Amino acid sequence: MHIDPASGLLDEAEYIPSPNQDDRPIEGQIDLLVIHNISLPPQQYGGPYIEQLFTNCLDPQAHPYFADICHLQVSSHLLIRRDGHIVQFVPFHKRAWHAGESCFEERVRCNDFSIGIELEGSDDEPYEDIQYQQLVAVTKCLRHDYPGITVDHIVGHMDIAPQRKTDPGPAFDWPRFRQKLASA
């Protein structure tokens, strides 16, 4: 697994560009990894809906839940599907719109200095083994190219927006992930 320095793209990811991105502030460095979860409709997996949301193409008529979210302009850098397939929406050197109102170590606007990875899943359903494997491989690759992403700078969305967010939720096995990362 490798990140192309010119494009900011992961060589093993399918690239579906999101319009929901912009340039990062010049003065900042990328030193935070934020892990999220997403499923559309909630707790349903597969299908095109996550990609449609991140590319502003979600049909509000396709499911009752979509009417409330189809207007959102959000993205993440990567999505790791339940089968391990990786989709990249935003080059790593660009700012994805994944964290929203957020704070880490007294720094606000976490999108400015973070990379966001979505796991296809929900707070209370176990993630797949292949998702952990892919997340570890991607994290190892990111830490090589962005050494500011230390173990202490890998957090869940709930850690940077605790009043608003709960993901990746209690089903995400942090000890397992950290152990696999340490042995990678």
pLDDT of residue 184: 77
pLDDT of residue 58: 97
Tell whether the model's pLDDT for residue 40 goes beyond 90.
yes
Average pLDDT across the chain, whole number: 96
Question: Domains in the chain and their CATH numbers?
Answer: 14-18+25-183 (3.40.80.10)
Tokens of 4: 């192309």
| Calpha distance 98→175 (Å, rounded) | 24
Residue with tokens 């359903």: 125
| Calpha distance 164→122 (Å, rounded) | 15
Question: Each residue of 46-59: pLDDT tens digit?
Answer: 999 999 999 999 99
Q: For 128, which DSSP code?
A: P
Tell whether the model's pLDDT for residue 41 goes beyond 90.
yes
Q: Quick count: other Cβ atoms within 10 Å of Cβ 48?
A: 13
pLDDT of residue 27: 75
DSSP 144-159: HH-TT--GGGEEEHHH
pLDDT band at 139 (very low <50, low <70, confident <90, very high): very high
Which residue, 113, 152, 150, 147, is CA-closest to 27?
A: 113
| Residue 118 designated active-site | yes
Active-site choice (12, 14, 27, 118): 118
In angstroms, how far is CA 11 from the centroid of its own chain? 17
Tokens of 129: 């083994």
Tell whether the model's pLDDT for residue 26 goes beyond 90.
no
Segment 72-82 mean pLDDT:
98
Segment 29-45 mean pLDDT:
97
Segment 176-184 mean pLDDT:
94
